[in-house]
Chains A and B, each alone.
Chain A
Amino acid sequence: AQSVTQLGSHVSVSEGALVLLRCNYSSSVPPYLFWYVQYPNQGLQLLLKYTSAATLVKGINGFEAEFKKSETSFHLTKPSAHMSDAAEYFCAVSDPRRRGSNYQLIWGAGTKLIIKP
């Protein structure tokens, strides 16, 4: 069975510092991987996704993530944090063998990113 682990329920960084949010997955095959962002009282927005093409994926708002099969990781990074990046970030995984089915995404518990002035 697939699972997703996000290390750290809260991550605090200073404005301008590097952002690193960790995501590790468990899957018998290389999965599709996603990062979503949720601002307070809003739905989720897709930041970026890995779908077996380039291992380094660039997303919106300056975020990027690198798929590392050997480490079963898909960590999210941003070189320089901005106050507007403060939000909840969710990592999710899906099984590429199950296209077109009702298969739902498997979600991590989320990491709240706090930006210090």
Chain B
Amino acid sequence: GAVVSQHPSRVICKSGTSVKIECRSLDFQATTMFWYRQFPKQSLMLMATSNEGSKATYEQGVEKDKFLINHASLTLSTLTVTSAHPEDSSFYICSARQGEHNEQFFGPGTRLTVL
């Protein structure tokens, strides 16, 4: 099946710094990738849809200047959390859409802790 990697798996940073998370489709090309945020014991919250070669589409309430998304190639999308604060601490998961049925294949997630 389609494999999606995510890096890093875990990051701890100081408040005010920026953190970049990479999402790669390893064995297929993904024109569309998705970024989710998941709080403890809660469901997935879609943050944005990342499209190769164009601007990302952000969900309501998600600050585009806070969460910068770049989808520069068909196999790589990046999410940069700018000027991170403790409230940004969360589990961030990316997925890539592949196939005619809109199914998504997920990366393993990134645990972000902002001190």
Query: Which residues of A does B touch, CB under 8 Å?
Result: 32, 34, 36, 41-46, 49, 51, 90, 94-96, 98-100, 102-105, 107-110, 112
Q: Mark B11-32, 1 if CB is under 8 A from A, else 0.
A: 0000000000000000000001
Q: Is B67 an interface residue (CB 8 A)?
A: no
**Closest-CB distance, A8 to chain B (whole angstroms):** 14
Which B residues fall within an 8 A CB radius of A? 1, 4, 6, 32, 34, 41-44, 46, 49, 51, 57, 91, 93, 95, 100-109, 111
> Residue B44 contacts which of A34, A90, A95, A99 (CB distance < 8 angstroms)?
A90
Q: How far is the CA of A46 from the CA of B104 in the complex (A)?
A: 8
* 9 A–B contacts from the bound complex (CB under 8 Å): A36-B106, A42-B108, A43-B109, A45-B106, A94-B101, A100-B100, A104-B34, A107-B44, A109-B43
Given A104-B34, A109-B43, A44 contacting B93 (CB threshold 8 A): yes
- In the complex, which residues of chain B have a beta carbon less than 8 angstroms from the beta carbon of A44? 44, 93, 95, 104, 106
Give A45's nearest chain B residue, CB to CB. B106
Query: Is A43's CB under 8 angstroms from B57's CB?
Result: no
State A49–B101 Cα separation when bound (angstroms): 9
In Å, the complex CA distance between A36 and B95 comes to: 12
The answer to whether B100 touches A43 (Cβ under 8 A) is no
Residues of A within 8 A of B103 (CB): 32, 34, 46, 49, 94, 105
Residues A43 and B107 in contact, CB atoms below 8 Å apart? yes
Complexed CA–CA distance, A41 and B91 (Å): 8
Given the complex, which residues of A lie within 8 Å of B44, measured CB to CB? 44, 90, 107
Q: Which residues of B contact A108 (CB under 8 A)?
A: 43
CA distance A104 to B59 in the complex (A): 11
Which residue of chain B lies nearest to A32 when distances are taken between CB atoms in the complex?
Answer: B101
